């Protein structure tokens, strides 16, 4: 029986490379696709480790040759600019701190690539994410954490829905990163020891402040640094150059450490306070997506994560008007940041998530 066709999004790293190799071993008709995302990539060093670099395309092509599958480079630059770069700049301009990798997963990899894959006659799209997709007894598709706690990426995938989950494969979710590299070495993949990319792929040298100054200088208007009572303590060169919880780089002499508590773009103010002022008892979130449930009808007790790499905390999420939710934490959480995502869990299952709009102190 002929195995179904699967398109693998290949970034040139070990994870996506092994994903393609494993699926080929399992008998799938595999096609490797590297997405060309940002024009800025041509200005990077050729040996840059970002997923948009020239070396990433070369590495992906070499892996495809070794495992014997076709490789294509597809142009997603227009979609990426609209949904990721423009969104990144707009969010910083309004004093939010966005997560462009989540936007890229949502609009480019899990919508754009999926549509192109269907045009190629594929039944599935596969990625190298460390997360698991399962189906429960009632037929509902579930997104679950990867078994490697240090590499789990389910947080960044909370926007997946029942349709997309039915057509995606994530074979690395049951492995650890150590196992992934070992398998890649056994298969003779040249990227087996390639370091992971940690940077924002379209921001040169991971310097988002320089990127804002170049791409959207109008959002950087000087203003005041004030305390919670409104007293002016200093001055700044632009609200978007700061983030909630920041301590260093404020340029203020004070008797005790000061931290950014909130950003007020309307008044061009960076509001600072003590360490305790950075904690929030809850938050309001919008742009919600639910996976484990159809919709939130009543308060639900969950574990909530407010930033990738941060530990989960017990919380109660309650429905509000217009699809928004209120989240009340069992214990106050530090640096609840507008623009970041809050994701809800029931054990290792992702219940859903959304974009943080404001902390509740």
Residue 95 — left, alpha, or beta (φ > 0 → left; ψ -120 to 50 → alpha)? left
- Quote the CA–CA distance of 333 and 321 in Å, as a whole number: 24
DSSP for 272-297, written as a single string: EE-GGGGEEEEEEEEEEEESSSS---
Instruction: Take residue 105 and report the two structure tokens written for it.
Output: 């997963």
DSSP for 320-359, written as a single string: -GGG-EEEEEEEEEE---TTSEEEEEETTEEEEEEEEEEE
- Quote the CA–CA distance of 48 and 38 in Å, as a whole number: 14
Residue 264 has φ and ψ, to the nearest 5°, of -115, 90
Task: Please give the positions annotated as active site.
Answer: 104, 201
Closest CA to 318 of 280, 347, 344: 344
- Quote the CA–CA distance of 271 and 266 in Å, as a whole number: 12
- Quote the CA–CA distance of 103 and 286 in Å, as a whole number: 15
Beta strands in the chain (DSSP E): 5-9, 29-36, 71-75, 124-126, 131-135, 141-145, 168-169, 223-227, 232-236, 259-264, 269-273, 279-290, 300-305, 313-319, 325-334, 341-346, 349-360
Is 166:141 a contact under the CB 8 Å cutoff? Answer: yes
- Quote the CA–CA distance of 354 and 272 in Å, as a whole number: 26
Tokens 């109660």 sit on residue: 316
Tokens 């070495």 sit on residue: 185
């Amino acid at each position: 029986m002929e195995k179904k066709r699967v398109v693998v999004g290949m970034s040139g790293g070990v994870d996506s490379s092994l994903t393609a190799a494993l699926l080929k071993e399992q008998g799938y008709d595999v096609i490797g696709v590297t997405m060309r995302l940002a024009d800025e990539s041509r200005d990077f060093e050729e040996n840059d480790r970002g997923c948009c670099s020239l070396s990433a395309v070369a590495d992906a092509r070499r892996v495809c040759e070794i495992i014997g599958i076709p490789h294509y480079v597809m142009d997603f630059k227009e979609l990426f600019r609209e949904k990721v770069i423009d969104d990144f700049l707009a969010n910083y301009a309004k004093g939010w701190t966005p997560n462009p990798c989540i936007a890229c997963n949502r609009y480019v990899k899990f919508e754009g690539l999926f549509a192109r894959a269907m045009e190629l006659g594929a039944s599935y799209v596969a990625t190298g994410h460390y997360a698991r997709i399962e189906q429960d007894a009632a037929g509902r598709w579930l997104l679950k954490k990867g078994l490697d706690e240090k590499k789990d990426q389910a947080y960044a995938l909370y926007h997946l829905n029942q349709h997309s989950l039915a057509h995606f494969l994530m074979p690395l979710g049951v492995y650890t990163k150590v196992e992934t590299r070992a398998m890649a070495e056994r298969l003779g993949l040249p990227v087996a020891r390639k370091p992971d990319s940690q940077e924002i792929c379209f921001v040169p040298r991971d310097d988002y402040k320089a990127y804002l100054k170049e791409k959207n200088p109008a959002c950087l208007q000087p203003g005041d640094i004030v305390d919670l009572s409104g007293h002016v303590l200093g001055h700044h060169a632009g609200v978007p150059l700061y983030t909630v919880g920041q301590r260093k780089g404020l340029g203020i002499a004070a008797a005790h450490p000061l931290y950014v508590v909130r950003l007020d773009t309307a008044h061009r103010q960076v509001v600072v306070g003590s360490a305790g002022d950075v904690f929030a008892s809850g938050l309001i979130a919008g742009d919600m997506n639910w996976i484990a449930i159809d919709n939130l009808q009543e308060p639900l007790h969950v574990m909530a994560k407010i930033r990738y790499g941060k530990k989960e905390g017990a919380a109660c999420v309650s429905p509000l008007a217009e699809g928004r939710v209120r989240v009340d934490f069992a214990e106050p959480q530090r640096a609840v940041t507008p623009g970041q995502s809050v994701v809800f869990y029931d054990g290792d299952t992702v219940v859903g998530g959304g974009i943080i709009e404001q902390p509740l102190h």
